Structures are given as structure tokens and as C-alpha cells.
Amino acid sequence: MSHSPALTTPSPPVAPPKRRGASTAKRKQHLAAYLFVLPFFVVFIAMLVVPLVYSGYLSLFESKLIGGDVFAGLANYVRALQDSAFLASIGRMGLFFVVQVPIMLGLALFLALALDTARARGSKAVRLLVFMPYAVPAVVATLMWGYLYGPDFGPIAQIARAVGLGTPDFLSPGSILGSMMNIVTWEFVGYNMIIMYAALRSIPAELYEAAEIDGAGQLRIAWSVKIPAIRPAILLTVIFSIIGTFQLFAEPSLLNAIAPDAITNSFTPNYYAYNLAFINQELNYAAAIAFLLGLFIAVVSYIVQLGSQRRERRERSAS
């Protein structure tokens, strides 16, 4: 009589016991990471979040002689949207952006492409010289250009008179915006050039070699390979330029001292909010204008970014 072997079911694998030391070490690493980022969050909350919340709170009130601060709801925002001085400052900075930013970014892109070519000599020295104006504080740069623009003792006016061209008035109401564009361009061309140049250096060299094998020259490579490859960096500089344009403050506030007829108290939105808050003592209304300005900058930046993304999708679908 035969006996069949007994069927044994395999036992499930036994998981190795967790090492207590390993979990403790991981917890210590997480704790150390949180401790390292804690100072940033403390400063971020104390210097940005709390002031924003408090400014939003102030914008909902009005200060009256009788009764003190009273709740006003959105009255300050409605007033700002009907304020001709505020709207004019927004339009003025819109013109500033349309004219100055393409010139500034065009120069930055040209310099970045020129420095990126293999034929560029002394590129390190050129990069330093172009970037150096950004290292100069905006206050110092504005004072320096204010002296250069001076109609009496400024070197530009003296040279123009010496060659019989008369005295150019760079600080008149009709030309002050262009003079300010020149100051900002001088300050920030190097900064934007460094961003674009860093993006260019990250492009794989194989793309250039393939384009050269196909017979493309330097101009063709720059237009068809380099510029499309650094489009995200260019978009970043555009968004930074939008923020910087509508937040101009140092230049108009300093030029106001030497050209009071050309620079009004509402020349730029930021300068207008400052004068409302600290000169006119209208803190609540200034807070509302600051919030509207931030919202406007966010909307314009989003529209620019969305337009760039849609263009990239169309190009991918077409290819």
C-alpha cells in the first residue's frame, strides 16, 4: 500500500525586523532638515506673510477725523479704480515696459550670444564689465545719471554745447521717461545677460555640432538652436522685467529732487503708494493701491507665461 507524500504549504516570507537604529537616524535627519529650513520660514512669515495680511486688513478700513478707523469694505479699491492719477501711472509704466524691456532684453540676448560663441575673446572680462552696473545700488546709479543729465554742469550738456548742439534737456517732462529708461537699461542689461548666458552654457554641444554638419552658420545656429533652447530663460527675464517695471521706486523718487516739474508724486504706482502712505498719511488707501498693483502684476505675468506656453504647444504640434 503506497503512501502519497504530504502536501506542505509554503510559509509566507518573514520580513526582517526593522532596525530601531535606522529609523532613529532617519528621524534625526528629518529633524535636522526641518531645523535648517526653519529660519527661512520664520523670516518669510514675519517679513512677508504678516505684513501682507496686515496690509490687507488696513485696506478694508478708512480713517476719518470723527470716529477714527471705520470698516469700509471694498470702498478703497473702488476709489483706486476710479483714481485718474493711479490709472495714469499704470499706463505710464505700461509704455515704459513696451519700449524699454524689448530694448534691454534684446541687448542682453545679443551680448549673451556674442559671449557664447567660440570666437569671443576676453569673455570673462566682458561679462564682468557688463554685469558691473547691476552691482551698483539703484540709488547711486540714479544719482550718477542725474549728474550726467544735468543741464548746467553735466558732462553731456557741456559736450553738446562745445560742439554747437545746444543744451539737451534730459530732465524735461517730455523726455524724463526716456531718461529713466536709459538708467534702468544700464542697470539691468548685465543681470539679464547672465541669466541668458548661463542657459546657453547648459545647451549640449552635440546640437551645435549637428547644425554645423548641416552647414548652418553662426547666425543660423543662434536663431534656430540657441534662442529656442533658452526660451524658458528669456521668459523668466520677461517676468522679472514686468515685476521690476511696475515696482519702480528709487529712480523716480530721486529724480524728483532734481526734476520736480517732470516727476509728479504719482509718476509710478509704487511711488504713488509711498506718497499716499507717508506724505498724505492715507495708509488704508495706499494699502489698497499696493494690493491692486500686486494683482495687476500677477495677471500680466500669468498672461505672458500662458501665451508662451500656447506658442510652444503650437510649435510642437506643427513639427
pLDDT tens digits, 259-284:
888 999 999 999 999 999 999 889 99
What is residue 121's predicted lDDT score, i.e. its pLDDT?
Answer: 66
Residue located via cell numbers 529660519:
39
Tell me the per-residue pLDDT of 102-143, one tens digit each, with 9 for 90 and over: 999 999 999 999 888 755 566 778 888 889 999 999 999 999
Q: Please give the DSSP secondary-structure letter assigned to residue 13.
A: P
Instruction: Record the pTM.
Output: 0.83
Spatial distance between the Cα atoms of 319 and 315, rounded to a whole number of angstroms: 6
Tell me the per-residue pLDDT of 3-22, one tens digit each, with 9 for 90 and over: 555 555 555 555 555 555 55
pLDDT mean over 239-243: 93
CATH homologous superfamily of 84-137+176-318 equals MetI-like (1.10.3720.10)
β-strand partners of 62: 70
- Three-state DSSP at 50 gives helix
Spatial distance between the Cα atoms of 3 and 1, rounded to a whole number of angstroms: 7
Alpha helices (H) along 11-64: 20-44, 50-58
pLDDT mean over 180-207: 91
Domain boundaries, the chain: 84-137+176-318
